[in-house]
Amino acid sequence: MAGLFESAGGGGAVLALDELEASILRSLEVQMLELIGPGPGGEGDGSGDPLAALFAEGPSKAPDDPALARLFPDAYGDPARPADEESREAAGEFRRYTELDLRARKREDALQVVRALDGLGGEGGLVNLDAAACLRWLGALNDLRLTLGVRLEVTEDDEQGLYDLPDTDERKPLVMAYLWLGALQESLLEALTD
């Protein structure tokens, strides 16, 4: 079935994509790279002075963009309640020393997908992934789905309602992408457990 992962054995997976699916997925991942931002030193691939990168400190405040806040949540405090001063300080300290690494990992996950899709030469085809690449793709798909979920304001209570949106609803293309990414993610998990 086009568009879903199948087990390739040995912890790997294979994905058959048509040209449109590959183009949509690549476009979404490029947008994810833009959202995450460049690496240390302003370079998109994160390469630069390795010593400076080792001692670089990240931000101490949560991002203002709700999608970025979902991708880089506070490590302390209850998300359902306003944070007290102690939780804010602890979250800020944790974020300062971990967010750059988390951003780099998310950037590498997205780049893994883009590079694999670029390997198709702008056409559809089979993407063969080894076990390590499967984990990168799983992370990248999860990040895309979380971001689209925030943009669409999806909650657990109304996710079923997404299937019933009329074709005239302007959110329909994003909802279709959100649901497809969920199916991709689920099929990759199943392929990894086969």
Look at phi and psi of residue 146 and say left if phi exceeds 0, alpha if psi is from -120 to 50, else beta. Answer: alpha
Nearest-Å Rg of the Cα atoms of the chain is 18
Tokens standing for 55?
A: 């001692």
Number of domains in the chain: 1
pLDDT at 139: 97
In this predicted model, what pLDDT tens digit does every residue of 74-112 receive, in sequence order?
Answer: 888 776 677 788 888 888 888 888 899 999 999 999 999
Q: How far apart are alpha carbons 6 and 79 in whole angstroms?
A: 36
- The answer on pLDDT for 42 being more than 70 is no
Host domain of residue 154: 5-193
Q: Which of 37-41, 55-59, 127-131 tops mean pLDDT? A: 127-131
Q: How far apart are alpha carbons 135 and 141 in whole angstroms?
A: 10
In this predicted model, what pLDDT tens digit does every residue of 47-76 receive, in sequence order?
Answer: 566 666 556 777 778 889 999 999 998 888
Rounded average pLDDT over 131-145: 97
Rounded average pLDDT over 161-176: 88
Looking at per-residue confidence, does 69 or 2 come out higher? 69
- The answer on pLDDT for 130 being more than 60 is yes
pLDDT at 177: 94
Tokens standing for 19?
A: 């040209």
pLDDT at 78: 73
pLDDT at 110: 98
Reported confidence tier of residue 194, pLDDT bands at 50, 70, 90: confident
Q: How far apart are alpha carbons 146 and 30 in whole angstroms?
A: 15
